[in-house]
Amino acid sequence: DADVTQTPRNRITKTGKRIMLECSQTKGHDRMYWYRQDPGLGLRLIYYSFDVKDINKGEISDGYSVSRQAQAKFSLSLESAIPNQTALYFCATSGNSWKTSGGMDEQFFGPGTRLTVL
Amino acid sequence: GENVEQHPSTLSVQEGDSAVIKCTYSDSASNYFPWYKQELGKRPQLIIDIRSNVGEKKDQRIAVTLNKTAKHFSLHITETQPEDSAVYFCAASSTGTASKLTFGTGTRLQVTL
């Protein structure tokens, strides 16, 4: 089945370390997203990409960077991790009907990466 | 930008009762409103969505209503079952080439026996 995968699933790191979270999808979707989930705060958008050459900041992009290496791969980096970046991180993709209808498609989420920064 | 508020943050109902979760949005250009369910330790998954050209949509025990004038939309779950226990997120988006979802803060629904 076409899916969205994330690696690693869990990571514990120390303050100041560089961390990369990876996302891959086999759905053939152009659009990919990175979200952060914190208790009581819901899902907040960090970065999103509508194709390989298009990267956009979300509402909480400070302290993060991304790379869209290919249509199927979208990586999130924390250049110098800090404790308040401890959270559950989700990658998501959405379909391509916007190309013809301009509509918004269902987002499909990966399994999440639980990151702890000590 | 868009702002989505969701209430209540927690909701406890007895099995068989109905549950209602409400959301408001700020951007009058928003016209797509999905609801996601996240079970414990799992990824969020779409359960129902509505577009602004309709006022209500049903899928078995789940329904969503939309009031564009008041800028609010609601999720209704009837005949709740223990497997409905989860966190539910509403979201809003405008359509178009730059569309993206803004999520509410979530409602933890507990269905008790």
pLDDT one-digit tens code per residue, A24-59: 999 999 999 999 999 888 999 999 998 899 999 999
Q: What is the DSSP letter of B82?
A: G
Closest partner residue to B97 (CB to CB) among A44, A45, A98 is A98
Cβ–Cβ below 8 Å for B1 and A59? yes
User: Token match 């559950």: residue?
Assistant: A88
Cβ–Cβ below 8 Å for B43 and A90? yes
Q: Which amino acid is at B68?
A: K
The alpha-carbon gap from A81 to the nearest alpha carbon of chain B, in Å, equals: 24
> How confident is the model over B5-24, as a mean pLDDT?
98
Q: Rounded to whole angstroms, what are the CA distances from A56 to A45, A60, A65? A: 10, 11, 10
**Burial letters for A17-35: b for 16+ Cβ neighbours within 10 Å, e otherwise?**
eebebbbbbebebbbbbbb
> How confident is the model over B5-32, as a mean pLDDT?
95
Higher-confidence position of A77 and A96: A77
pLDDT digits (tens, 9 = 90+) for B46-68: 999 998 778 899 999 999 999 99
- Give the Cβ contact number of residue B77 at 10 Å: 23
> How confident is the model over A94-117, as a mean pLDDT?
82
Omega prior to B8 cis, within 30 of 0:
yes
Specify the pLDDT at position A63.
Answer: 96
A5 is written with which tokens? 């995968």
Specify the pLDDT at position A22.
Answer: 98
- Average pLDDT of chain A, as a whole number: 92
Closest partner residue to B96 (CB to CB) among A33, A42, A102 is A102
The answer on pLDDT for B108 being more than 60 is: yes
A26 is written with which tokens? 């086999």
Closest to A78 measured CA to CA, from A92, A61, A91, A93: A61
> How confident is the model over B80-109, as a mean pLDDT?
89
Omega prior to B82 cis, within 30 of 0:
no
Q: How far apart are CA A114 and CA A104, in angstroms?
A: 28
Q: Is B52 on the interface with A (CB under 8 A)?
A: no
Kindly indicate the confidence band of residue B92, based on its pLDDT and cuts at 50, 70 and 90.
very high
Specify the pLDDT at position A103.
Answer: 65
Specify the pLDDT at position B46.
Answer: 96
Share of chain B above pLDDT 70, in %: 96
Q: What is the DSSP letter of A101?
A: H
**B residues 55-74 lying closer than 8 A (beta carbon) to A:** none
Share of chain A above pLDDT 70, in %: 92
- Average pLDDT of chain B, as a whole number: 93
Q: Is B93 on the interface with A (CB under 8 A)?
A: yes
The answer on pLDDT for B97 being more than 60 is: no
Specify the pLDDT at position B96.
Answer: 61
Query: Residue A20, by phi and psi: left (phi above 0), alpha (psi -120 to 50) or beta?
Result: beta
Q: How far apart are CA B93 and CA A7, in angstroms?
A: 28
Closest partner residue to B46 (CB to CB) among A35, A106, A112 is A106
Cβ–Cβ below 8 Å for B105 and A58? no
B33 is written with which tokens? 């409103």
Specify the pLDDT at position A86.
Answer: 97
User: Token match 């702890």: residue?
Assistant: A116
B101 is written with which tokens? 């979802």
> How confident is the model over B77-81, as a mean pLDDT?
98
Closest partner residue to A41 (CB to CB) among B43, B97, B105 is B105
User: Token match 């209602």: residue?
Assistant: B20
Mutation target vs A (from B2, B31, B40, B100; most A CBs, 10 A cutoff): B100
